[in-house]
């Protein structure tokens, strides 16, 4: 019968810790499992993961190349086929597409991040579309379907 004063660990569930540096008779005396001489055998030995023993490190041997343009605008891409699908699924009823509608329907991941309308696919309904940018083909397709475009300024 198991009661609180009687409980014991299951046999084999607990492992004894390795006691090193307790004399030659313990089989772990002498070098205490640290191997022979060298930096890692000394007490307090630690060094950074990228340290290469004093050799010129990789990040200094390899030359720097290129740069990151901090002014680049990263657009979320939406094709006109996706806009047509929103209309077909009756998620757009009044013919107006703006960031709020696109965000609510899961087309864009962030309502504040800029997005661009691209021209892949076909559109056959008249829509009033607000976006940060449009490709030339997308503009042609939207206007050919009788829709209007409005660019949002960042």
Residue 71 lies in a domain: no
Residue 26 lies in a domain: yes
Domain containing 85 — which CATH number? Answer: 3.100.10.10
Which residues on neighbouring strands pair with residue 118, listed in sequence order? 79
Residues 139, 84 share a domain: yes
The answer to whether 149 touches 134, Cβ cutoff 8 Å, is yes
The answer to whether 131 touches 116, Cβ cutoff 8 Å, is yes
Residues 116, 57 share a domain: no
- In the block, tokens 């047509």 appear at 84
Residues 111, 45 share a domain: no
Residue 89 lies in a domain: yes
Domains of the chain: total: 2
CA angle centred on 83, ends 80 and 86, rounded to 5°? 155
Residues 87, 43 share a domain: no
Residue 91 lies in a domain: yes
Residue 12 lies in a domain: no
Name the domain boundary from 12, 31, 64. Answer: 64
Residues 82, 141 share a domain: yes
pLDDT, tens digit, for every residue of 64-100?
999 999 999 999 999 999 999 999 998 888 889 999 9
Q: What pLDDT score was predicted for residue 3? A: 87
* Interior/surface letters 120-132, b for 16+ CB within 10 angstroms, e for the rest: eeebeeebebbbb
Please name the residue ranges forming H helices in the chain: 58-61, 80-88, 99-104, 136-144
Domain containing residue 54 = 20-64
Tens-of-pLDDT digits for all 154 residues of the chain? 678 998 999 999 999 999 999 999 999 999 999 999 988 899 898 888 889 989 999 999 999 999 999 999 999 999 999 999 999 998 888 889 999 999 999 999 987 889 999 999 999 999 999 999 999 999 999 999 999 999 998 6
Which residues on neighbouring strands pair with residue 131, listed in sequence order? 151
Whole-prediction pTM: 0.59
């Amino acid at each position: 019968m198991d009661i609180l004063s009687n409980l014991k660990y299951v046999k084999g569930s607990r492992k004894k810790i390795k006691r090193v540096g307790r004399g030659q008779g313990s089989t772990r005396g002498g070098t205490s499992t640290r191997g022979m001489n060298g930096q890692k055998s000394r007490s307090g030995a630690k060094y950074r993961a990228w340290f290469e023993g004093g050799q010129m490190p990789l990040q200094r041997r390899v030359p720097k190349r290129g740069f990151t343009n901090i002014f680049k605008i990263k657009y979320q891409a939406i094709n006109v086929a996706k806009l047509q699908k929103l209309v077909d699924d009756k998620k757009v009823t009044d013919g107006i597409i703006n960031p709020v509608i696109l965000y609510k329907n899961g087309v864009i991941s962030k309502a504040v991040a800029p997005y661009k309308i691209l021209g892949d696919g076909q559109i056959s309904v008249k829509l009033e579309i607000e976006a940060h940018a449009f490709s030339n083909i997308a503009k042609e397709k939207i206007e050919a379907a009788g829709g209007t475009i409005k660019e949002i300024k960042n």
